[in-house]
Structure 1
Amino acid sequence: MDCWTLLELPDDADERSIKRSYAKRLKTTRPDEDAEGFQRLREAYERALQLARWREDETDDGCAEPVAAALPGDNLQAWSGLVEMSPPLAPMPAAAVAPTPAQALLKGLTLENLPQRWPEAQARECAQDFQNLLLEHCCKHPEQRAPLIDWAVRHLDWLTPWQSLSMSETQQRSLVDALLSYYRQALEEQLQANQERAFLALLTQYSERPWLQIFDHRLQWQSTVLILLNEQQWSVPLFERVCQVFGWDEQRGAIPEPAWIWQQLVQRCEQEAFYQDLQHKLQQEHSWAPEVLAAQLLAKPLSPRQQRNLTRGFTQNEWQACQQLAQTLTWRFPQLIERLPQSDVFYWQKFMPQSSTTGETWVRAWLGIALALTLFFIQERHDPPLHAAILAALGGWLAAVLGLLALTAWNALALRMLDLDLWLSERLIPKSLHRPPYRRLLRHGIPFLALMALFASLLGLLGMLTYLGFTLIGVLHHKRIGQVSEAFRLKHPWLSVLHWSHFSPWQPVFLLLMVGVIHACQVFYPAFPLTRLLPG
């Protein structure tokens, strides 16, 4: 189908008829409803304009009248000049050319007097010349260009298919860029003044201009607004209203270009929404919800005493809320940390009470080291069992105290490497072990290796295997002996150990078996590496 059939025009239609027909069909063929139909209509319109302008240029060239050759007898003065029979005539002074009505109206033109001069141009029947000179004036005077173009697009339908003047693609591109820059500057001033209501009103007003309903112009306009939002500060409700104005919806796939800027704005919107929710929780001073208390601890400026007072009554729920909030800030919204009073979002862990199993850990470490020392003294010094047990109890107590001091220092150091510890734990510890009590590779792995090295130095390979097997049974076997309340375990750690609380029934069996094996090896096969770390 050729362009004339699609536009329903004869082959000799002029440029004005082509633009009117295109504007009429543009009402029924919208780019957002029928993209392919709009593309065919646009190509037909451009082809028809090109043919009409070629026809007009050929007509102008063919109508030029040839200049008649002057005969020698008809112009004696010319012949006398050629043969130098008479002196040349003095040139006549050029008469002053009077300005045309359109040129007179354009003289001293400003945005203030333009609304009065346009009706005068229509009254003097020089409206078309006036528009052509106005276009030339806009191209030559950049300082006045944008306001004059803005008036022209609102009153003269410039940059639309139904405009009455013809402009080249270079001129059209220059006008579009100047006008979009003018709109952007006005919107930027409203954002910098924090006038979001005025910004939305101005944005809606601009977006309803007829020339911005053209598909290409509207895409360029949306990209301009998108880049502006990426460079300025705004609130979440403002961004949602802008999305409503342009019909942006990520779920429907209606997103503007560039797509990477859109993704940044969406992430920034989620970040601002999260921060506003955080600020809203800070206003709930009389709420005891764990999420509110965690927000106040991390996002509210507090002195060390206020921090201690706030965390004094925290339970496991509040500490868990603090952990979730700190991890969300670290991994999803790290830029928000700059707005918080504490740059270390895990600082609150220093206020966490020690685990209720600390006493039990000390007692178990002492008993394990004392048992290993007893076997060591019997083998190396050949002491009587009772004498060896007494010395081992004293030495185990000293080793356990020193070990717990070293463990406290290591826990403080491990907190500084919490991000690395979490990253390594998630990737190296099997997922089946990710259950309470949660284990971390560095915080718990290093003390475990230190104790395993201690038992290996006392009892060789069998001592190391005993400690390793005892620990693995406790981790992998879920059944436990006895149930002791948390308060009882905190006040009476000795009785909790004697009760074998949270022990697997296979652990004491394995321990007794390995003690017998180690003692038998010490008696019948006291050689490296079973019961000695070093040969000798």
Structure 2
Amino acid sequence: MSCWEILGLPSDADTRSIKRQYATLLKRTRPDDDPEGFQRLREAYEHALNWSDSMRQNATEETAPAAEITLYNTETGLQPRDTGPSAAQRTATRLLEGITPQLLDERFAEAEQAWCQAEFEEQLLLLCLKTEHDFQALTRWGLEHFQWLSQSQRGNLPNSATLELHQRLFSSLEESLAHLLALGDIEGFWREYYNLEQLDWLKSRTGWEQLNELLARLLLNSPFWSAKLFKSVCKLNNWSMTDYVSKCPEPYWTQLLERNRSENFLYYQQQRLELPLNTPENRAAYLLFADIPLLQRQIFAQRMRPDDWRFCEHLAQSIRDKHPRLLSRMPENNPFFWQDLKSQDNGWLSFAAVMLASGVAAMHHHLLPGNGLNETANAIALWSLLLSGLTGMLLWFWPGMADSLWPLDRRLSPYLSPRLSPRSPSPLLLRDLLPCWLIAAVIGVWLGAPSLMAYVGTMLSFGWADRLTKKRAWPRLASAYPTSWWLAWGMMLSVTLSTLGLYAAHSLTIASRNHGLQPWPERLCSRMPASVEECRLPATQQQWYGRETH
């Protein structure tokens, strides 16, 4: 079977037809599917090209035109200089006027008849560099018919034009692949990538090196990332992920490996966003990586626990030290942004408020004329103990119950919490404020309006104190503990000392045994002269009190 039969062409086919037919058959005959068929096709292609080149050279020698008659100037003896474009150039210019990709085959056939193929090719090349709308189509036709940027291109083409065409093609290719990557169209990316194998201008070693650099730059800078795509590109281009030397140019290779690790870390954390928020790891990942507005992030931070904050610290340090590429995905490019959202545990402030409310109630009900100090101190201690126990039970059991109401709490808190509490950031409505309302209701029903006003006023004062301190940023007050922390401890200490003071004052008003007025004030020595030996000073207990009968 001859090479023409394998290719399915007549023996007088030209080079362009041979290459076109070979590209068509190559799509159906792959080296990995049919190695022997591919080898026969390749040998037939080479034999046909050699035969076509030899026949063309023979035809050129046989039909060589006669030597042109050159006219010389009679005065200088020099050949006259051309004063304008040649007839072939003018014909090529006329043929390319209003050219479209659909008319190229027809116009080139006319150029062949007019013997201006070279001028047509050169002006088409320049036209491709000027036009924007049909650049891809015109350039594709020129690459296919004239083998531009390959070893088979005509040697006398302007170097500046071919260099600019090469740069334009790479820019266009980069723009196309970058657009497909940005859309996440992996199938379209592979389709475009496999089409590159058919481009003769990329088959040189320099072309593939530039293509490797282009692919590395695209993968590194694209907002879209696929670990599977990265591994496939590495395998096809022999970018080794284990060897110390890779065919991927530096510094792209090192940066690609770093991005691959960071993207895998990010993918693992984003997988946690789909899990229930019932573990510290999931809650920390949600706070740092969830695509939520700042207000919702602040609200979610209110339900964080000490274990959650420890995992936030771990994630933030990993991003800062091991995955700096992820800093741009953090709010304000700061992985520790959550520290501003971290609020102190303000639930225990209610203990100070209930102690003050108990003190107000005790003074209102017991510290009156006719009542003793002991009853007042006992009332403060008893009511403080009972209300503190109720507060402790709510603070212990309620957060777990409030988690079941999280969807409702998340919807109501942004609208109601800023109007009901001066604290900043605003607390959660059901998780933080509802227990305070329950305690306030118990105080109002049990101890009365004065105690209720004392409790509410104390809690609001704590919130306003912290808010003013943060707003004015007083250096001395902006310590590790908020202002409410110091006020609460001072208030509890004052109530405790006041209660102890009442007990001490009460003890001073009670006469002990044999103190004060006695039932027998007159004794033996009170009527005896001072000279009596039994009544001399200092008096003994027996002299003063005598013998008591029991």
Structure 1 length as normaliser, TM-score? 0.41
Structure 2 length as normaliser, TM-score? 0.40
